[in-house]
Amino acid sequence: MPRLSLWRTNKTNDYRFLDRTISEQFTVGGLDIFIHKYAGVKMGAESKEDATLPYYDEENPLFIEDLLLLENRNRSYEDDVHVLRGVYRVTDIDFDLSQFGIFLQNDTLFIEFHYNDMIDNIGRKLMNGDVLEVPNLKDYHPLDTSIPKALPKFYVVNDAAFASEGFSATWLPHVWRVKVVPLVGSQEYKDILDNFIDDKGGINGDDGDGNGSGTLADYMCQHNNNMGLNDAILTQAEVEVPLSGYDNDKFYIIPPGEVRDQSYVRIDNDFITVDSDLLTADSAMSTPESEGFAFGYLTGNGMPPNGLPVTPAVTFPTDALEGAYVLRIDYMPNRLFRFDGTIWTMMEDAVRTNISLGAPDNDTLRDSFVNNDDMIQTTDRGLIPSRQSLSDLLKPSDDN
């Protein structure tokens, strides 16, 4: 009589009986979970000229798009959606006190599937990159009343393995366990998020023909909201700090003549009248000859001190009075001059510019450095652009 043993090197009737029983438990107690199957990297997504960005003429989930960064940014998902029964433990979002300080546990789920049903249904094991839609977690009442229907809840598979509780008495596994995290609006899931949420209305009158913006990404992702917040912050920042450097317009610079020979010009004087000959039409204007104590790094704005008038021009006027200011707009940066009766003395350069990167009137060193389009001639590598992306700098290149 052979000895009794549930362990066999192959799958016997004992295994099949237990497997059918476990599958029935998933059918009875589980819920339908929609599987968006990861098909692989999009064909021809990257350049053929870079060894770290191989060109693929087929979609395969085992291919890697970026061999340097080990990323699959341009992912393709099957159009067909598979339905599979799964089980997970519903938990509350709670505080994690296992570390220093208090942290909120993120929305991470561990979902279990019957292994053989999974193989029969989708043709392979669930793997990293697959997207699961959990229907019982739909948001049926979003705060935004313009959303036409309930928002689905998507999760991305981060890890997968056999569940320890899924091994039967035959020592063979029956349950596949996946760790999933909430899907975020990023380039990897564009195939899913670009699907229309409502093929009749959508957003902004979208009729489902692809000419509108009624996609899942418009509702589920925070990108548009974050961009709006960022734009508002930048707008207010430009109001509060419109120019680089320091603002010295609020400081009053005492002209030398005001102290020397025109101290009698006061608001309470009573001896300067219409017929007075103290001030004549050809009297020299008493204007500051320099910025004085208000001059410093990045203080030049092309405006004369004390709010005095200035004439913008491309040439010096021939009939200027002593003390007049002229802003030469043909200089780069614009340059402010003062006429001392004989020569035009340079006062300052208008170096205070808009500090936003890429602004049309931004002439700061930072902007010129970031947006430098010059080409550098080298003896061994030819012309090299001054502005390069980090991915270009890390590319392997031929050693000449």
DSSP letters for 64-86: -SBTTTTB--SEEEEEEEEEEEE
Q: How many domains does the chain have?
A: 2
User: Which residues form the domain of 332?
Assistant: 246-352
Q: Judge contact between 132 and 31, C-beta under 8 A.
A: no
Residue 111 falls inside a structural domain: yes
Residue 227 falls inside a structural domain: no
Q: Cβ neighbours of residue 334 under 8 Å, at least 6 residues apart?
A: 302, 327, 328, 349, 350
Residue 378 falls inside a structural domain: no
Residue 218 falls inside a structural domain: no
Per-residue tens of pLDDT for the chain, all 400 residues: 567 888 888 888 989 999 999 999 999 999 999 999 999 988 765 555 677 888 888 888 899 888 888 888 889 999 899 999 999 998 777 666 666 655 656 688 999 999 999 999 999 999 999 999 999 998 888 887 777 778 889 999 999 999 999 999 889 999 999 999 999 888 888 888 887 665 444 433 444 444 445 678 777 777 778 888 988 998 898 888 888 788 888 888 877 655 444 555 555 656 556 666 655 555 556 788 877 777 777 888 888 988 889 999 999 998 898 889 999 999 888 899 999 889 999 998 888 877 776 666 665 566 677 778 888 888 877 888 888 777 666 666 555 4
Residue 368 falls inside a structural domain: no
50 token code pair: 């870079």
Q: DSSP string spanning 279-303?
A: S-TTPPP---SS-GGG--TT---S-
Domain closes at, from 311, 335, 352: 352
Residue 369 falls inside a structural domain: no
Measured between alpha carbons, how far is 360 from 351 in angstroms, rounded to an integer? 14
Same domain for 179 and 250: no
Same domain for 74 and 151: yes
Same domain for 139 and 29: yes
Same domain for 258 and 178: no
Measured between alpha carbons, how far is 149 from 236 in angstroms, rounded to an integer? 35
Place of tokens 């279990």: 112
Residues in the chain: 400
Same domain for 119 and 37: yes
